[in-house]
Structure 1
Amino acid sequence: MAETFTNWSGSIEFTPTARAAPGSADDIVQLVAEARRTGGTVRPVGSGHSSVPIFNTPDTLVSLENLTGVLDADASARQARVLPGTGLRDLGSQLADRGLAMENLGDVDYQAIAGAIATGTHGSGVRLGNLSSTLVGGQLINGLGEEVPFGVDAGEGEDHDLLRAAQVSLGTLGIMTSLTLRLEEAYDLHRQNYITHIDWVLENFEALIESNRSVDFYWYPRSDLAQVRMLNKPGDEPDLKPQGELKKDETGPNYEIIPNDRALHFEEMEYMLPLDTQLEAFRQVRERVKAKHRARVGWRVLVRTIAPDHALISNAEARYRDGSPTMTIALLQNNTLPYKQYFDDLEPLLQEFDGRPHWGKKHTMTAEQLAPLYPEWETFQKIRRQMDPDGIFMNDYLRSLLGEEGK
């Protein structure tokens, strides 16, 4: 019996029958073959940062911790092939050594690259896509034990359906053995964090998102203050500055400057909504929190933006909103405090604004509710079944999420 696995926030625990840490594609092929022989399942796991049971399995839990590093890089083409278990924190420095950098990063860098891409992890910026949108190719082991190239690795373009399915796949197509990423020339960022009143942010949100490369804000429910984080390449900073205290002012490589250090673990629910520069959804969230939850909310509400993409089940997928960007509203709660009543009360409000949940964070939506939000939902399902006809990579949670219960 393998040891109990606990996710990053501590809200999910399970004990698989076995744990494996393959060191090669051949090792993964053997794991899949054994699962097919016994009728078992395998689920890949990276850092365990997801706060939904996407990685749960009663059978074999597959860690990619031994598959790390940059395989090769082409600075002129601005691409690199990386191994799936590479942590984002390590990947930044390894790419920088080759003169390259990720286009953007998320709020934290604890995740492994394959898991971050599979769940649509994102940073902020109306002209910056999520991490998944930078996946242009790769290879994976499917549910038949075949190593399948996709995207540029298969000589296919970025509009090919298998690539678009792989970009946000929840680990249901197979286990990645390499990922080919579209990158930028290595660059520095100037980060400025301001503490201001939330009313200033509401009045200036449209100007902030248009004038900054990346900007987001936290609202502190107990004080009505907000922290605005502005990230720009040195020399490109806008004239518009928040009224208030400059709390942080630093410049350095993008992979050091973007992520926050989160010593405090937390639970999170995040919904992706059509961009509304008037922030009506946030205004309603704010009023609800002030009226019902202010005494119990220990942390923050975070608002970010994402450029549109065309992955089949990306929650920033463009066709859903006629090509407009996405805005996100995330509710964060200390993992030592109750979160369920808070999240359950706010979730229907976010859904009223055509919200799509972040695949790796707390939510209660199932396939019946999700399918109408994704125009190419059935295309993804068809590809998933072709890649894994026997459900080797499924678990109970994913069957409910994707509408495969009883199949």
Structure 2
Amino acid sequence: MKQNKNGVWLSWNENITYNYKSLYTISTEEELQEIVKNSEKIRIFGNKQSSADIASGAATLVDIKSYNKILSYNDAEKTITVQSGIILGDLIEAVEAKGWCIPCLPDINTITIGGALATGTHGTSGKLLSEYITKCNLILADGSLKEITEKDDLINAVRVSLGVLGVLSTITFKCESIYTLHVKEGPENDNEWLPKIKERLKKHDFLRILWIPHTDKGYVITGDKINPETEINEDLGSSFLKHRRKASKILYKYTHIFPWLTSIANKILYQGFFSGTKEHKGSLYQATVTKSRGSTLELAEWTIGLDDFPKVFEELKTEINKWSNKSFIHIPMDIRFVYSDNSWLSYAYKKEVVTMGCVSRNAATADTYEAFKTIENIFLKYGGKPHWAKRFMAKDAEFSKIYDKWEDFKTLRRKLDPTNKFLNPYLTEIFNEKTNN
């Protein structure tokens, strides 16, 4: 265990800073228990890739990335047990080496597992990543260790907990046999892809749509399970496509000053990067997960029931296409699909949902990015829920209306953490707790 004293914590995009008294790096569960037990206020962080102010803001911090071992496999049950600081990419590579997969993966592979689970990270055409937990160890506020299995009622509160019930220590995931996806990608008009969503969810094993605001176009990605020996005519498109981030950075450079330039930029980017087709195959991880991401963006993401999505989409599209407002949106808006579950703070609690991402390519000016406000207002109007790791303004008053188990979760949180050890200023507001505790 190593300790640094009296430093400054800086977020991924350098837009959040906090002073801390102690910062620890650890490698064992016992060390983590000791630090939790002896701290008055503590937060755990990994690669800092959250746009929400969730990872720091406490006197004691733990950098969890060195707590990253694979602890065991169970071949008969296809499970893997890991420490919570392991990076998703390392976990999936270990799983695939066994001929297994986790059947729903997030968009990027550089996040720590503990942070991903705590904030409800998800992929598409499956459940939240946390739904594949079969067992976990949770370090409680007094430093004691509690083992929770999928048979315990508490698991539905712990699966998505924002790190306020305790610290996830070790996690066991249930895996499936690995499979190969045949992926096809290509553009469609909005009036083509929107009515086909439910049909495609039934037909395909994987569905994701990258919507291109201000162009009336979506870029549809489908995947179907095939025999790995099946030959396809692979076409990954022009080598020029790898320059999309660079082109976006140039075209969006002044859009915070002149928002209307976004509309022009999007049309150019559509023609350059989204107007062609692709075809390829690979495992879910190989074929669909982004292996790197530049730290030049800020994100919001909202979810809505599958049946409500078409009207929410049309209202959002109408609103952002008005030249009278400043809510011009950078590309793409990532549309994904999550199956229902029973986790209390899940976006998909007891219903299938559609998620819609909203990105600002200018992280430094994200606070004035009007699109974040617009998408939040529209989704909240229909009972939508924000992604816990991304940008939103909603607090306790809004969450009490849209989460059926919100008050139950708050009651449990107070029981497990009566001194508010795991709350930072941001989370104190989220849960409307008194600041003198």
- The answer to whether the superposition gives a TM-score over 0.5 is yes
Instruction: Indicate the SS of the match to 2:65.
Output: coil
Structure 2 Cα separation of the partners of residues 278 and 285 of structure 1? 10
In the alignment, structure 1 segments of 5+ residues that lack a partner are: 238-243, 319-323
1:20 to 20, 24, 30: 24
In structure 2, the gaps of 5 or more residues are 231-273
Match of 1:362, SS state, is: coil
Residues 254 and 75 (structure 1), Cα distance of their counterparts in 2 relative to 1, 3 Å cut: farther
Q: Distance in 1 between matches of 2:294 and 2:189?
A: 26
Letter of the structure 2 residue corresponding to residue 5 of structure 1: W
> Alignment partner for residue 148 of structure 1, among 146, 149, 167?
146
1: CA distance, partners of 2:52 / 2:355: 18
Match of 1:15, as an amino acid? Answer: N
For residues 278 and 21 of structure 1, what CA distance do their matches in structure 2 show?
43
The reply to whether residue 95 of structure 1 matches residue 127 of structure 2 is no
Check 1:351–1:5 CA distance in 2 against 1; reply closer, same or farther (3 A cut).
same
1:256 matched to which residue of 2?
286
Backbone CA RMSD of aligned residues: 2.2
State the partner residue of 1:240. none
Other structure's SS at 2:20 match: coil
- Which residue matches 2:193? 201
What is the aligned partner in structure 2 of residue 282 from structure 1? 313
Q: 1:292-331 residue pairs with structure 2 within 5 A?
A: 292=323, 296-318=328-350, 324-331=351-358
Rounded to whole Å, the distance in 1 between the matches of 2:393 and 2:43 is 21
SS in structure 2 of the partner of residue 195 of structure 1: strand
Q: Distance in 2 between matches of 1:217 and 1:332?
A: 15
Distance 2:30 2:394 in 1: 36
Query: Matched residues in 2 for 1:169 and 1:77: separation?
Result: 26
> What does 1:33-112 align with in structure 2 at a 5 Å threshold?
33-35=37-39, 40-112=40-112
Cα gap change, 1:252 to 1:201, in 2 (>3 Å) = same
Deviation digits for residues 67-94 of structure 1 (CA, Å, limit 9, x no counterpart): 1132111232122211101111111111
Q: Give, in angstroms, the shift of residue 124 of structure 1.
A: 1.1
Per the TM alignment, residue 2 of structure 1 is displaced from its structure 2 partner at its CA by 4.5
Matched, 1:342 2:342: no
Distance 2:176 2:59 in 1: 40
Give the corresponding residue for 1:213: 205
Amino acid at match of 1:282: F
Contact kept, 8 Å, 2:13 with 2:295, in 1: the verdict is: no
SS state at 1:375 partner:
coil
Distance 1:246 1:297, change over 3 A: closer
2:168 to 173, 176, 183: 176
- 2: distance between equivalents of 1:98 and 1:389? 42
* TM superposition shift of 1:294: 7.4
CA–CA separation in structure 2 for the residues paired with 1:96 and 1:402: 39
DSSP 3-state at the match of 1:279: helix
Separation in 2, partners of 1:32, 1:395: 14
Q: CA deviation at 1:385?
A: 2.2
Which residue of the partner structure matches residue 393 of structure 1? 422
Alignment partners' CA distance in 2, 1:32 and 1:264: 30
Are residues 1:232 and 2:232 paired?
A: no
Give, as a single letter, the amino acid of the residue that structure 2 aligns with 1:334. R
- Structure 1 residues 119 and 68: CA distance shift in structure 2, 3 A: same
Aligned-partner Cα distance in 1 for 2:309–2:49: 32
TM-score for the superposition, normalised by structure 2: 0.82
Are the counterparts in 1 of residues 8 and 17 from structure 2 also a CA contact under 8 Å?
A: yes
1:364 is displaced (CA, Å) by 0.7
Residue number in structure 2 paired with 1:358: 387
Q: Indicate which of 324, 333, 358 corresponds to 2:360.
A: 333
Secondary structure, aligned partner of 2:169: strand
The answer on whether the counterparts of 1:75 and 1:185 sit within 8 Å (CA) in structure 2 is no
Q: Cα distance, 1:245 vs. partner?
A: 5.7
Of 331-340 and 17-26, deviating more is 331-340
Q: Which amino acid is the alignment partner of residue 175 of structure 2? A: L
Q: Secondary structure at the match of 2:278?
A: strand
Task: For residue 278 of structure 1, report the CA deviation from its aligned partner.
Answer: 6.4
Post-superposition Cα deviations, 1:264-314, rounded to whole Å, max 9, x if no partner, equal: 632111111111276111111111111146784332222211000101111
Counterpart secondary structure, 1:5: strand
Return the letter of the residue paired with 1:145.
Answer: G
How many residue pairs align between the two structures? 384
1:328-385 Cα distance to aligned partner (Å, 9 max, x none): 1221121345453221123111111110111111111111210222222232223222
* Distance (whole Å) between structure 2 residues aligned to residue 316 and residue 389 of structure 1: 28
SS of the residue corresponding to residue 268 of structure 1 reads strand
**How many percent of aligned residue pairs carry the same amino acid?**
23
Instruction: Output the CA distance in 1 between the equivalents of 2:161 and 2:58.
Output: 21
**Is the 1:221–1:294 Cα contact (8 Å) retained in structure 2?**
no
Counterpart position of 1:247:
277
1:3-42 CA-partner distances (Å, limit 9, x unpaired) = 433333443232322211111111112212321xxxx311
Q: What does residue 374 of structure 1 align with? A: 403
Structure 2 distance, partners of 1:22, 1:176, is: 14
